[in-house]
Amino acid sequence: MSEQRSGTGTALGQRHVVIVGAGMAGVQTAVALREQGFAGPVTLIGAEPHRPYDRPPLSKAVLLGKADGSAFDVDFAALGVTLELGREVTGVRPGDHELDTAAGPVRYDVLVVATGAEPVRLPGTDADPAVHLLRTLDDAARLRPVLAEQRDVVVVGAGWIGAEFATAAREAGCRVTVVEAAGRPLAGALPAEIAAPMAAWYADAGAELRTHARVRSVEPGSVVLDDGTQLPAGAVVIGIGARPATAWLAGSGIDLGGHGEVLADAGLRTSRADVYAVGDCSSFPSGRYAERLLVHHWDNALQGPRTVAANIIGETPAVYDPVPYFWSEQFGRFVQYAGHHRAADTTVWRGDPAGAAWSVCWLRAGALVGVLAVGRPRDLAQGRKLIEAGTALDPERLADPARPLKSALA
Ligand SMILES: Cc1cc2nc3c(=O)[nH]c(=O)nc-3n(C[C@H](O)[C@H](O)[C@H](O)COP(=O)(O)OP(=O)(O)OC[C@H]3O[C@@H](n4cnc5c(N)ncnc54)[C@H](O)[C@@H]3O)c2cc1C
């Protein structure tokens, strides 16, 4: 490692890297720093009291009691990473290179903001013990008895979390009603014609999906909709989206975007020197898709930290320009998505969306830019590589689900 000096006058290898947020992105930043040879002090500060854990199992095995937890298999002591858990960071003064916490200030040479996202709440329901969110291990622990006691559940929001929670609740034997303000599930994520077939999955699993339905109020034992319908509810689960957890950055001079996310550059640096941001809390300019992306998925929190670590170490400057990827397990189906379809000009279906396995490919100027695969992991794996390579495909051959996706090269 070179003996350059950082802006704070500390030898590069000795700089103290402080990571705020001990979720996937924070933990992976610490791991990546060590993997890439950073030998200086690393401190990982997390507001939650639990050992850092992975979130996807919370809406799956942990919720159903098939797993007690999902702690990361990382030996922080062996890595020489100092963990400060149960400690919330309340502010940052980049000019002083200092963080504020209730237990006193913390100095850093390099700061990594990895505070993730927080679920959007339903106004007026914060104090209601029957109303639940699903973001943390504690949330999942509070929801386990709801499933174990097979209470009637109303889920507000038919997005990824709502669908996964409804799946688990049905598996546990609960009566489940999902209330969605839009006309279809996943309205914010997928085009209407792609998401429309997914509405049938709810009914297949014995869950009732009510679209164009808005919650007027949550009463003891029930949810009242705008049209006066009263739905029995032993528990209510809110799944109406998440917002970057960045309130603590107010007044710091670190630039935030319209969703409250940290505006990072292509190297995941923020507007203030020596401050990086990664994971659910930040957006980055995608060269590949020529727009700024705010990605709230696990793979982004895995890949981004490698770029952050490389740029902190600084020997080989790195640019973050991934093909985004995520998966969801819902209603007995494995749903995967790679790429970004917003600017696509052509949509090609592979297979019958009423069936168990199908996929959709999006092309732009002939090149594959996005793929959604339902029960077709090979389509996803091949598609992901072709998207990375910017390969042009022949739409006619692509439409034949009996042929491997990669055989549709134009
Ligand atoms: C229930 C659930 C299921 C999911 N399933 C999938 C899935 O199937 N597939 C998929 O691709 N993605 C899934 N995701 C999304 C994925 O888990 C997230 O994208 C990922 O966790 C983001 O990691 P992160 O580290 O950026 O943020 P987080 O995981 O949110 O971690 C941020 C951490 O920072 C802490 N923090 C926040 N503010 C402060 C502060 N001021 N001081 C100190 N600490 C702070 C928080 O307490 C939190 O522990 C799921 C998410 C949830 C909630």
Q: Is 140 in the pocket of ligand 1 (CB under 6 A)?
A: no
Strand order in the sheet with 222-225: 215-219, 222-225, 230-232
- The owner of tokens 């402080």 is 18
Measured at the CA of 48, the angle between CA 47 and CA 54, to 5 degrees, comes to 120
d(C-alpha 341, C-alpha 336), whole Å: 14
Residue 232 backbone dihedrals phi, psi, to 5 degrees: -60, 135
CATH architecture of 121-238: 3-Layer(bba) Sandwich (3.50)
Map residue 327 onto helix, strand or coil.
strand
Is residue 290 exposed (0-12), middle (13-18) or buried (19+ Cβ within 10 Å)? exposed
Q: Is the distance from the beta carbon of residue 139 to the nearest atom of ligand 1 less than 6 Å? A: no
- Look at residue 11 in the predicted model and tell me its pLDDT: 63
Quick one: which H or E segment has residue 72? none
Strand pairing of 291-294 and 282-286?
A: antiparallel
Which of 179, 239, 166 has the alpha carbon at shortest distance from 209? Answer: 179
User: Which pLDDT value is given to residue 8?
Assistant: 45
CA 214 to each of CA 58, 120, 242: distance values in angstroms, whole numbers, following the listed order: 26, 15, 18
Q: Tell me how far the alpha carbon of residue 116 lies from the centroid of ligand 1, in angstroms.
A: 5
The hierarchical CATH code for the domain 12-118+242-313 is 3.50.50.60
Indicate which atom in ligand 1 lies nearest the CA of residue 300. Answer: 19
Q: Is residue 43 a contact partner of residue 18, using CB atoms and an 8 Å limit?
A: yes
* Nearest CA among 141, 333, 95, 135 for reference residue 238: 135
For the chain, give every domain's residue range: 12-118+242-313, 121-238, 332-408
Residues of the chain predicted below pLDDT 50: 1-9
CATH of domain 332-408: 3.30.390.30
In ligand 1, which atom is closest to the CA atom of 118?
Answer: 30
Pairwise CA distance, residues 318 & 309, whole Å? 9
Is residue 180 a contact partner of residue 210, using CB atoms and an 8 Å limit? Answer: yes
Closest-CA residue to 26 (of 63, 1, 51) = 51
Query: How many residues would you count in the chain?
Result: 410
Burial status of residue 102 (CB atoms within 10 A of its CB: 0-12, 13-18, 19 or more): exposed
12-118+242-313 and 332-408 in the same fold: no
Residue 245 CA, ligand 1 centroid: distance in Å: 10
Burial 309-322 (b: 16+ CB within 10 A, else e): bbbbbeeeebebeb
Measuring from atom 17 of ligand 1, which residue has the nearest CA?
Answer: 55
How many CA atoms within 13 Å lie on the side-chain side of 255? 12
Cβ of 132 closer than 6 Å to ligand 1, yes or no, is no
